Structure 1
Amino acid sequence: MSMTMNAIIWPEGYVPGFTENFASNEIIVAGLSAADVWPLLAQPAHWPTYYANSANVRFHDGKGPQLADGDRFYFETFGFPVEALCNEYVAPAAGQPGRLAWHGWAGEVGTAERLDVHHAWLVEDLDGGRVRVLTQETQKGEPAAALHAAKPNPMINGHQDWLDGLVAAARAAKKGAQ
């Protein structure tokens, strides 16, 4: 295994530091692999089972239940109805991290309520039987500026809940499979 950790790939217009809000959360745990975690992340219908801040997941155009590049889907989180387009999907493989990302939006273009985000995930196996899950999100618009100003930061806390729930669900699924 490499001692180098991978990074999120940012699309133009969503590079951290050039948007109204940025959240970064990471967890590294022993006893799980990317293969244990990935199915729970790549199938949005699982999200509400371990992350209370997501609801009403549905796919457009007969797609799903697993995300794929170009899939449109919908879910609700942080009080926002989010339309989303999966724009990066690479399942983890030997020596290659899993990558999942989507552009999400809420509100009408050109209004004060408009929120645009790029939410990315990286899931990689590390040496010693560990897995690393990194989630980062950049946000644009007035709602993003309000989220940035809120203390404690609801994005940091919410995404940590997502990571903690994901790990707990992966551990429970692995234990149930034994």
Structure 2
Amino acid sequence: MNSIVWPEGYVPGYTENFVSNEIIVLGLEAADVWPLLEQPGMWPTYYGNSANVRFHDQGGPLLRNGDRFYFETFGFPVEAQCVEYDAPAAGQPGRIAWHGWAGEPGTADRLDVHHAWIVEDLEGGRVRILTQETQKGEPAEALRVAKPNPMINGHQDWLDGLVAAAWAAKSRG
């Protein structure tokens, strides 16, 4: 199975917070999941912790490398830029990642994140969806120690909603 490609400064273990969520589903393919993930405007339809998505600079509705966009999640207004985009292809996983930030640089409320996804077909008619995020800043420290962990639980909700939406779209045909 494939792993996330981490940019310098965001390698897990060297940031204030790291979360990892994964699901493997029988009967779905990367092609069923990918269209829902590459369209940030769709996220609020299956993930209740995402809202008010909009693109900057006439980007969208599909996310592409270099695109700037905005969304709200976990109570943060997040500015983001897509830093990795590779659609799934035969034998190759799909990869999406963005750098997101909230707050002014140098302030206590500044949060910087690298959020990455892998969507890949596995043998036996299965799809693997992996999402991992590293976070830097004082808000990341607070999220790390919160119980229950809002990031682990929130990203699991995202995965579960993504899978449910893929099943619904597949059944509509």
The two structures have a TM-score, normalised by structure 1, of: 0.97
Match 1:7 to one of 3, 15, 21: 3
Separation in 1 of the partners of 2:62 and 2:34? 10
Measure, in 2, the Cα distance between the counterparts of 1:66 and 1:121.
15
Deviation beyond 2 Å, 4+ runs, structure 1: none
> Is structure 2 residue 86 aligned with structure 1 residue 90?
yes
Counterpart in the other structure of 2:160? 164
What letter matches 1:62 in structure 2? Q
1:100, 1:69 → 2: CA distance?
8
The correspondence of residues 48-67 of structure 1 with structure 2, limited to 5 A, is 48-67=44-63
In structure 1, what residue type is equivalent to 2:54? R
Tell whether 2:96 aligns with 1:127: no
The CA distance in 1 between the partners of 2:41 and 2:104, in whole Å, is 26
The alpha-carbon deviation at position 107 of structure 1 amounts to 0.1
Query: Which residue of structure 2 aligns with residue 34 of structure 1?
Result: 30
Alignment of 1:127-146 (within 5 A): 127-146=123-142
The equivalent of 1:106 in structure 2 is 102
Deviation at 1:145, TM superposition (A): 0.2
CA distance in 1: counterparts of 2:145 and 2:108, whole angstroms = 16
- Offset, 1:128: 0.6
User: Which 5+ residue runs of structure 2 have no aligned equivalent?
Assistant: none
Percent identity (aligned)? 82
Cα distance in 1, alignment partners of residues 172 and 23 from structure 2: 22
Q: Count the aligned residue pairs.
A: 173
Cα distance in structure 2, aligned partners of 1:112 and 1:105: 13
Q: Which runs of 5+ in 1 are unaligned?
A: none
What's the RMSD between the two structures over aligned residues?
A: 0.2
Shift of 1:139: 0.1
Deviation at 1:11, TM superposition (A): 0.1
